[in-house]
Chains A and B, each alone.
Chain A
Amino acid sequence: EADIYQTPRYLVIGTGKKITLECSQTMGHDKMYWYQQDPGMELHLIHYSYGVNSTEKGDLSSESTVSRIRTEHFPLTLESARPSHTSQYLCASSIGETQYFGPGTRLLVL
Chain B
Amino acid sequence: QKEVEQDPGPLSVPEGAIVSLNCTYSNSAFQYFMWYRQYSRKGPELLMYTYSSGNKEDGRFTAQVDKSSKYISLFIRDSQPSDSATYLCAMTPGTGKLIFGQGTTLQVKP
Q: How far is the CB of A62 from chain B (nearest CB, A)?
A: 15
What CA separation (Å) do A94 and B43 show in the bound complex? Answer: 14
- CB-based nearest B residue for A6: B43
Whether B32 lies near A97 (C-beta < 8 A) is: yes
Contact of B42 among A31, A97, A103 (CB under 8 A): A103
What CA separation (Å) do A31 and B44 show in the bound complex? Answer: 17
What CA separation (Å) do A100 and B98 show in the bound complex? Answer: 12
Whether A42 lies near B46 (C-beta < 8 A) is: no
- CB-based nearest A residue for B8: A40
Interface of A: prevailing SS: strand
For A102, the chain B residues whose CB sits under 8 A away are 43
Which residue among A2, A50, A99, A100 has the maximum number of chain B CB atoms within 10 Å of its CB? Answer: A99
What CA separation (Å) do A83 and B90 show in the bound complex? Answer: 29
For A106, the chain B residues whose CB sits under 8 A away are 41
Interface residues of A in 24-41 (CB under 8 A from B): 31, 40-41
What CA separation (Å) do A107 and B8 show in the bound complex? Answer: 24
| Chain A CB within 8 A of B62 CB | no
Q: Residues of A within 8 Å of B, CB-based: how many? A: 24
Map CB proximity to B onto A66-93 as digits: 1 under 8 Å, 0 otherwise: 0000000000000000000000001010
What CA separation (Å) do A50 and B98 show in the bound complex? Answer: 14
For B101, the chain A residues whose CB sits under 8 A away are 42
Which residues of B does A touch, CB under 8 Å?
A: 8, 32, 34, 36, 41-46, 49, 88, 90, 92, 94, 96-98, 100-103, 105
Which residues of A does B touch, CB under 8 Å?
A: 2, 6, 31, 40-43, 45, 48, 50, 58-59, 90, 92, 94, 97-104, 106
- Sample (6) of A-B pairs whose CB atoms are under 8 Å apart: A40-B103, A42-B100, A45-B98, A90-B44, A97-B32, A97-B96
Name 18 extra pairs, CB < 8 A, besides A48-B96, A48-B97, A104-B42.
A6-B43, A31-B96, A41-B102, A42-B103, A43-B88, A45-B98, A59-B97, A92-B43, A97-B34, A97-B98, A98-B46, A99-B46, A99-B90, A99-B98, A100-B46, A103-B42, A103-B43, A104-B41
